[in-house]
């Protein structure tokens, strides 16, 4: 209780300060979604970015020295998922680890305890125990191009929300019993439809092949589509879009239609 009081007081003090001009320049340069937001959403993005910057630990790896530009760029992209509800500011996330480019990590099935690295190079990874790992070159390229359809920061931070709210296998609180009752069914049908499309056509549909691996990957990919391919997702699966809209409490389709 006392910790929460100090934390909230610290947040109020942070938000009372003006958003630094140099940070505004970074967001405008590297976070293409920011230009699509209305003024109130942009102010909300700034507030969320400031808190994420202050409350997470930021690390450079692979010889990378992490800069203020990297931290602001990543925090602002992660903040997009919190525009409608702060979700505890990703309270499970302690560390954001940044590599200069694609990286390989220990094999997850071995509990990260050996020296065997995955054979597959990655651009992003989320660990349930509170780490997000990102490749800076992909973060920057995708962040600057909101119309490109993909965003590794959004994808990996969606995994962190899933770990917190059990979105892939459970039912989140949506404030609407009718939508909550449909969540599991709509998600399951969309996932199975995608898996079938991958098996039959040996190719993805609106989602990537990676999304066919399991429900957690499908949810993260669906979130990425919701924020980066929102018009296409709404056209392809309006029910899935409606559920994600209820959870995130925002409508990215409007951003792209303005």
Q: Which pLDDT value is given to residue 141?
A: 98
Tens-digit pLDDT profile for residues 184-230 = 999 999 999 999 999 887 665 789 999 999 999 999 999 999 999 99
User: Do the domain assignments include residue 65?
Assistant: yes
Task: Tell me, yes or no, whether 49 and 101 share the same domain.
Answer: yes
- Identify the domain containing residue 6 by its residue range: 2-145
Q: How confident is the model at residue 118 (pLDDT cuts 50, 70, 90)?
A: low
Q: Which of 145, 160, 191 is the last residue in one of the domains? A: 145
Which residues is 60 bridged to in the sheet? 98
Q: How far apart are CA 57 and CA 65, in angstroms?
A: 14
pTM over 0.85: yes
Tens-digit pLDDT profile for residues 21-52 = 999 999 999 999 999 999 999 999 999 999 99
Which residues is 57 bridged to in the sheet? 95
Task: Tell me, yes or no, whether 27 and 101 share the same domain.
Answer: yes
Distances in whole angstroms, Cα of residue 210 to Cα of each of 29, 103, 132, 146, 230: 30, 17, 18, 21, 19
What sign does the dihedral 42-14-69-227 (CA atoms) show? negative
Paired tokens of 108: 């997850």
User: Do the domain assignments include residue 84?
Assistant: yes
Tens-digit pLDDT profile for residues 128-175 = 999 999 999 999 999 999 999 999 999 999 999 999 988 877 888 888
Q: How many domains does the chain have?
A: 2
Task: Tell me, yes or no, whether 14 and 133 share the same domain.
Answer: yes
């Amino acid at each position: 209780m006392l910790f929460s009081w100090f934390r909230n007081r610290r947040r109020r003090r942070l938000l009372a300060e003006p958003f630094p001009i140099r940070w505004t320049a970074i967001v405008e340069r590297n976070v293409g979604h920011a230009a699509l937001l209305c003024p109130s959403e942009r102010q909300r993005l700034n507030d969320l970015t400031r808190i994420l910057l202050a409350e997470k630990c930021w690390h450079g790896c692979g010889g990378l020295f992490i800069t203020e530009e990297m931290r602001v760029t990543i925090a602002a992209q992660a903040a997009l998922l919190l525009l409608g509800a702060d979700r505890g500011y990703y309270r499970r996330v302690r560390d954001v680890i940044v590599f200069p480019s694609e990286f390989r990590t220990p094999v997850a099935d071995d509990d990260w305890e050996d020296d065997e690295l995955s054979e597959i190079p990655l651009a992003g990874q989320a660990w349930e125990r509170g780490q997000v790992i990102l490749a800076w070159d992909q973060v920057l390229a995708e962040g600057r191009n909101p119309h490109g359809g993909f965003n590794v920061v959004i994808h990996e931070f969606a995994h962190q929300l899933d770990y917190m709210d059990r979105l892939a296998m459970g039912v989140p609180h949506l404030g609407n019993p009718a939508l909550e009752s449909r969540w599991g069914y709509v998600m399951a049908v969309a996932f199975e439809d995608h898996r079938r499309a991958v098996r039959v056509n040996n190719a993805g549909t609106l989602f990537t092949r990676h999304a066919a691996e399991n429900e957690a990957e499908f949810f993260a990919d669906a979130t990425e589509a919701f924020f980066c391919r929102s018009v296409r997702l709404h056209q392809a699966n309006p029910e899935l879009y409606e559920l994600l809209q209820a959870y995130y409490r925002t409508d990215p389709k409007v951003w792209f239609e303005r």
